[in-house]
Amino acid sequence: MEVKTLQVGPIGTNCYLLCDPAEKRCAVIDPGGDAGAVAAAVERSGCAPCAILLTHGHYDHTGGVTELSARWPEVPVYLNRRDQSAADMYLAQLFPPVDGAQNYDEGDILTVGSLAVTVLATPGHSEGSVTLRCGDALFCGDTLFAGSCGRTDFPGGSIKKIMASLRRLGSLEGDLIVYPGHMEPSRLDRERRDNPFLLQAMRTAESGV
């Protein structure tokens, strides 16, 4: 497994290429913009794209999907259904339509070559936020950041739900690699030690609240 990172779009969203070099297959995670640069990175990787995986539906994570889908019409796009609807103009700006997106949810497993990607439902930043786990890698979108967590004041956000999602991630076994939607990567042990939001979430779990 290889992970390649690009910063794309208007606010520097982390787009990841999850590659299986042996099978020469890859998935594109959160192409939030700069579709040409993403496509060029895929070509340089020597891997054929087999899926576009979205951790949630905000524009800064989905902005490159339309152009990439035009380039790769046979490549499926996955997004949790809770982030696929937009009831008014403001929501449509925050959650732009992702035409043809297939739903995935808790417990679903997708394959990228020989790699297995498991979907963990981690709502809170948005109702449909998911974390994608592949081996010791966690692609957390805007749920968990290095030293922080995603904001919850957008429509569909919930502080109660994101704290539950942080507890879930913090309870996973092992020092997993955290690949967030923004800023630098981290390790789960570091976040369990230093991240005040994750620490608060874990304390809440211990107290039974």
User: For residue 209, what pLDDT is reported?
Assistant: 47
Q: What is the pLDDT of residues 103-145, one digit of tens each?
A: 999 999 999 999 999 999 999 999 999 999 999 999 999 999 9
**CA gap 88, 112 in Å, rounded:** 35
**CA gap 59, 171 in Å, rounded:** 30
List the beta strands (DSSP E) in the chain: 2-8, 13-20, 25-29, 48-53, 77-78, 109-112, 115-121, 130-134, 137-141, 144-145, 148-149, 177-180, 186-187
Query: What does the pLDDT average to over 21-43?
Result: 98
Among 116, 146, 148, CA closest to 133: 116
Domain boundaries, the chain: 2-207
Q: What is the pLDDT of residues 53-102, one digit of tens each?
A: 999 999 999 999 999 999 999 999 999 999 987 666 678 889 999 999 99
**CATH hierarchy code of domain 2-207:** 3.60.15.10
Instruction: Determine the residue type at 72.
Output: W
Distance of CA 163 to the CA centre of its chain: 17
| Count of alpha carbons within 13 angstroms of residue 14, beta-carbon side | 21
pTM as predicted: 0.95
Query: What does the pLDDT average to over 19-39?
Result: 98
User: For residue 91, what pLDDT is reported?
Assistant: 84
Q: Residue 190 has what DSSP assignment?
A: H
